[in-house]
Amino acid sequence: MTRRMLHWTLLALATAASAVQGQSLMPESTVRVDLDLVVVPVTVTDQQGGLVRNLDADRFRLWEDRIEQDVGYFSRESVPTSIGIVLDTSDSMNTAADAAHQAVEAFLSAGSTEDEYFLIEFSDQPQLREDFTHDVSRLHNRVIRTAPEGQTALYDAVYRAISKVQQGRHARKALLIVTDGEDNNSRYSRSNLENYVRESGVQLYTLGIASSFGKGVLRELADLTGGQAVFADEDDDLESIARDMAVTMSSQYMLGYVSTNRDRNGEWREVRVRVQGEVVDEAFTVQAKRGYYARAF
């Protein structure tokens, strides 16, 4: 076995994926990999919005800053994830509170027993209500006790949740954000948050309820990270939507590569993924993070 292939094999044994941005992958074991690996989670859907789960590695092509990269690692197996639930409990969610609670409960019920979760609720400011746990009943019990009040510090809540999820034990990390998306009380600005999201390597999934005000920022946060943004009214079937989001989160392809650009300059590098082959590109929608920051040392 060559040294290069040994690195990929150790990576596969240690962890299937991580949303690494510009740093060597640190798997959940004593195995260390000394290459600068970039791992890109990818979701593929068909024209009807259904998940496409049976693609082989040779169907994927990946570019960094318009230069095609050699995808040396590929996986389509679900891996444990550290997940933060970020729930809007501000007064603007008053009529949508019950629907939001049901959506969170449906999402948790559809998740893997190997995943770990924490809960942040926010109105005037974010509050950590439940720390990391595999016992989703604790989060269920907490969510149903929450009544909406106060203003909306959405950006502060997401900022804190990203910092918190980085402490999770699993290499792969994600957030589910349930909100109407209308921030009116944060210390951090939208640009502050978007920069932090770019640096974090955390995938964001957003469920926007009962408002058109926050669609732009929720969609942008999801798109930056290769996550998903869904918008619905409070009388829609939010439980079904939330369950589908949980399935989507756990049904991703993982592409890994060592960049041909070995400069450690800390600069942003754009990433683009395409699927091609037997079916024309336009038949699929590919969701992947837009890029990452290179190492600066």
Q: Are residues 260 and 209 in the same domain?
A: no
Q: Are residues 235 and 117 in the same domain?
A: yes
Q: Are residues 266 and 237 in the same domain?
A: no
Asked if 29 contacts 41 with a C-beta cutoff of 8 angstroms, the reply is: no
Comparison of pLDDT for 176 and 30, the residue scoring more: 176
How much is the pLDDT for 213? 72
Comparison of pLDDT for 263 and 283, the residue scoring more: 263
| Sheet of 126-133, strands arranged across | 126-133, 116-122, 81-88, 172-179, 203-209, 228-232
pLDDT at 72 over 90: yes
Q: Are residues 150 and 28 in the same domain?
A: no
Please state the rounded mean pLDDT for residues 131-147. Answer: 91
Q: Are residues 237 and 265 in the same domain?
A: no
> Can you spell out the DSSP letters for 37-70?
EEEEEEEEE-TTS-B-----GGGEEEEETTEE--
Q: Are residues 146 and 171 in the same domain?
A: yes
How many of the other CB atoms lie within 10 Å of CB of 30?
Answer: 6
d(CA 264, CA 267): 8
Q: Are residues 72 and 107 in the same domain?
A: no
Tokens of 59: 């169907």
pLDDT at 128 over 70: yes
Q: Whole domain around residue 132: which residue ranges?
A: 81-249
Residue 154 sits in a domain of what CATH number? 3.40.50.410
How many of the other CB atoms lie within 10 Å of CB of 6?
Answer: 11
Q: pLDDT band for position 177 (50/70/90)?
A: very high
Q: Are residues 244 and 289 in the same domain?
A: no
Please state the rounded mean pLDDT for residues 162-187. Answer: 95
Q: Are residues 264 and 239 in the same domain?
A: no
Q: Are residues 162 and 85 in the same domain?
A: yes
pLDDT at 174 over 70: yes
Tens digit of each residue's pLDDT (9 = 90 or more) over 185-216: 999 999 999 999 999 999 999 999 976 678 89
Q: Are residues 72 and 128 in the same domain?
A: no
Number of H helices, E strands in the chain: 7, 14
Tens digit of each residue's pLDDT (9 = 90 or more) over 34-64: 468 899 999 999 988 899 999 999 999 999 9
Q: Are residues 202 and 98 in the same domain?
A: yes
- Residue type at 49 in one-letter notation: G
How much is the pLDDT for 47? 87
Specify the number of domains making up the chain: 2
Q: pLDDT band for position 183 (50/70/90)?
A: very high
The overall average pLDDT reported for the chain is 86
Q: What is the 3-state secondary structure (H, E, C) of 12-31?
A: HHHCCCCCCCCCCCCCCCCC
Main-chain dihedrals φ then ψ at residue 96, nearest 5 degrees: -105, 5
